[in-house]
Structure 1
Amino acid sequence: MLLRSLRRGASGQLLFLFLLVCVGPEALAQMQTPVTGHYPPGQSGLRGASTPDPGFAYTNFSRFFTNLQLVGASGTPVQDIDELRYANISMFTWTTDWEFLGFRYGALAGIPFATGDLSSPAGESGFGLGDILLTPISLYGKSTSFDYQLQFTVWTPSGRFSPGSASNRGTGFWALVYSLGGVYYPGGDRAAWSISAVARIEQNFEQRGSGIKPGADLVVDWGAGRMFRVADHQLDVGLSGFGVWQITAQEGGPPGTDDDRYRLFGVGPEASLSLFDPLTLRVRAHWEFAAHDIVRGNNLWIIFNYRF
């Protein structure tokens, strides 16, 4: 870590004390926090890898999330942030009847918009375009008790970005995401219990303007739930969550960012309700915990899915 290396030797101790007085311990801790990837963990949830029927679908994700604390490499909070932010993602899905090696072919495109800190009086809370994602390859399979999928995604740096700016709405770097997921239906009944997981490895490239190449990360979304029939509506209720791990070191950042790697976990309740035949409402809440070298907060998702 940067703080440990600065303390070594007399000259290092003097430099450490100088920085401590000038910028404070909180800023020093933030200097060594790695840049995270694009994917918002927890987006998949219950039945996240289910195989859709052929056709078109539109999904709108509204995500309210708090950035509460900056957590250091030891897992101890080092800075209170107390931000409230909002992101909205429009996802367009096309699933075909075409098959490749037993997999049905599909494609996705996601267009995100995001705000800055809604609780800040600094005027940086405006709505702006984020980083658009394209999934040209989405392969779906199905058996008696399982659904499974393979995906390849390109994440673009389309959102506004300038190093250190409070008005950023994008990350400033390209990424490739490789996804593998499945859903298990005990007993083969898709209208009852489900256990799902989707693993994504994000390969990140150099961030423009900063010279930083963020490390790759692994995100695993999971969910376990039970579907019920309520009058003429389907209700799916359960628990979902995620885990995030940085799996390769960041390059080109401030000294110390390659010494420790971030990780984060989240868990909470989730429910979806079929409002009428093509339209479904889904709500999930995730509380984050066991954070290391990352910002920790909480998430509320409100999701509408419409099948054409």
Structure 2
Amino acid sequence: MHRDGSLPRKNAFVRAAVLAMLVVAPCAAAQTLGHYIGGFSGLDNGTSAPPGFYAAEFGLVEPVNSIKGPNGGTVVRPDINVGGAITAFSYTSQKKILGGEYGLAFMVPVLNTRFNSNLFNKSAQSAGISDILFEPVNLGWAKGAANYTLNYAFYAPTGDFDPNSALNPGLGFWEHQVSGGMSLSLDKKKLWNASALTIWEFNHSKLGEDLKPGPIFNAEYSFGRRFFKYQMNAGFVGYASQKLSADSGSAVGSLTQGYRDRGFGAGGEWKFTDIKHRLAYDVRFEQQYGVQLRTSGQVVVFSITYLKMTPPKPSK
């Protein structure tokens, strides 16, 4: 358990899993997204995992029912279904940096996507290993009723990418990601809780293509309550995502040049941690809305995590 009595948080896995849900549609009305898709950090997203080793397996499903234009209107209604299986590993040591517990994470996603659109009279599918995430820095602090986290990660373009293909397992560019957040217990019994996390994406140019995605800002929040002796946490989750500057390069579509895409989402989450059997379960659903220049639909994430926490050192 955390120092505040709450159950362990596999935050690094949740942030990592977003990579596997990316959809880049071959449409002049959709911009290039970053590696992070909003809505994946969920409850307690401002808390880093306590000392120990964690191994997680994620299942991801994203049915996409529309592609939105610059003003939020539907440009095309494709049939896109993204499925993913993601294996992630994380370790938090008892060593401290700047007073915070230090950890790191590694994630390998495998995707299966299918695209079909009457507008383009074209169908495509792709499957394979996507871009791999490395998180060399994960710092966590606990102070009173609050927990804080600060992290740095990068995505390597290890997945197959062909700029002429309708869909690809990889996105074809390097990305740096910096995130920071806070989780807060709202009552003396530490049952009610809230959290917030910001994620900043800084992208390199695409390989083999004159296109550089603009930087992206994501803000996520949650509000929940714990049950069953703090083993379960359930509540409301949501996010907002905004590209800070437009994509650049000669490969940017004429209909999207100069525009900045955005998206919002909201839904619910249920988490349960079985300390006796060292397992944690998580299910999250979010409906996307207010989308511009992106795909729009729903996101479902479910996971199971093996927990091997390190007992705290006895106080002197």
TM over 0.5: yes
Report deviation, 1:49: 2.3
State the TM-score, normalizing by the size of structure 2.
Answer: 0.82
**1:37-186 map, 5 Å:** 37-117=34-114, 124-125=124-125, 127-186=127-186
Q: C-alpha distance in 1, partners of 2:272/2:127?
A: 29
Please tell me whether the aligned partners of residues 55 and 305 of structure 2 are also in contact (alpha carbons under 8 angstroms).
yes
State the TM-score, normalizing by the size of structure 1.
Answer: 0.84
Identity over the aligned pairs, expressed in percent? Answer: 27
Please tell me whether the aligned partners of residues 126 and 169 of structure 2 are also in contact (alpha carbons under 8 angstroms).
no
Q: Which amino acid aligns with 2:284?
A: R
Task: Encode CA deviations 1:129-160: one digit per residue, 9 max, x unaligned.
Answer: 00101011111101111111110111111111
Q: C-alpha distance in 1, partners of 2:201/2:174?
A: 10
Q: C-alpha distance in 2, partners of 1:126/1:290?
A: 28
Report deviation, 1:89: 2.0
Please tell me whether the aligned partners of residues 177 and 199 of structure 2 are also in contact (alpha carbons under 8 angstroms).
yes
**1:268-307 map, 5 Å:** 268-277=267-276, 278-307=278-307
**Please, which moves more after superposition, 243-252 or 179-188?**
179-188
Report deviation, 1:126: 5.3
| 1:266 alignment counterpart | 265
Instruction: Determine if the alignment matches structure 1 residue 222 to structure 2 residue 221.
Output: yes
| 1:15 alignment counterpart | none
| 2:6 alignment counterpart | none
Q: C-alpha distance in 1, partners of 2:272/2:94?
A: 27
| 1:243 alignment counterpart | 240
Q: C-alpha distance in 2, partners of 1:188/1:58?
A: 32
Please tell me whether the aligned partners of residues 263 and 292 of structure 2 are also in contact (alpha carbons under 8 angstroms).
yes
Instruction: Determine if the alignment matches structure 1 residue 207 to structure 2 residue 197.
Output: no
Unaligned 5+ segments in structure 2 are 1-25, 309-316
The change in CA–CA distance for 1:119 and 1:259 in structure 2 (over 3 A counts) is closer
| 1:197 alignment counterpart | 196
Structure index of larger Rg: 1
Task: Encode CA deviations 1:222-271: one digit per residue, 9 max, x unaligned.
Answer: 211001017xx822110112111101111011234332111111111111
Report deviation, 1:40: 2.6
Q: Which amino acid aligns with 1:220?
A: A
The change in CA–CA distance for 1:119 and 1:55 in structure 2 (over 3 A counts) is farther
More helix by share: 1
Q: Which amino acid aligns with 1:260?
A: Y
